[in-house]
Amino acid sequence: MHPVQIRSLDKDLQIGRYDLRSPRAGCKPVPSDQITLALIPGLGFDPSGRRLGRGAGFYDRWIELRLACDAPITLVGVCFDEQIVVRIPTDPHDQSMDLIVTPTSIFER
């Protein structure tokens, strides 16, 4: 996973794998250390900031590399209220969010 600059949702994105919008070839790369806020999706979250992804580890690996930079970053999990559960089981490589934001709540780690 490599961050890129998106200037237009219509021009810079295409339907890709899993029918998700993905950046088109030619989008300008953004150095990870320049990203100070990351909105991270997930299947589920808990109030402590733990996240359940889709199992491929793309976000966990990117977050691990990004946290190795000296520049600060805020990790925000975004989801619907129904995706908040009491506890998400985690493995050592799983990365936690600083905040979880739903349409009605904000949970801070």
- Strand bridging mode 74-78 / 37-40: parallel
The CATH number fitting domain 31-108, selected from 3.90.1310.10, 1.10.20.140, 3.40.50.10420, 2.30.29.30: 3.40.50.10420
pLDDT at 18 over 90: no
Q: What is the mean pLDDT of residues 59-80?
A: 94
d(CA 32, CA 103): 28
pLDDT at 14 over 90: yes
The pTM (predicted TM-score) of the whole model is: 0.86
- Say what the pLDDT of residue 57 is: 87
d(CA 62, CA 107): 22
Q: Which strand (E) or helix (H) includes residue 52?
A: strand 51-52
Residue 38, amino acid: A
pLDDT at 1 over 90: no
Domains of the chain, residue spans: 1-29, 31-108
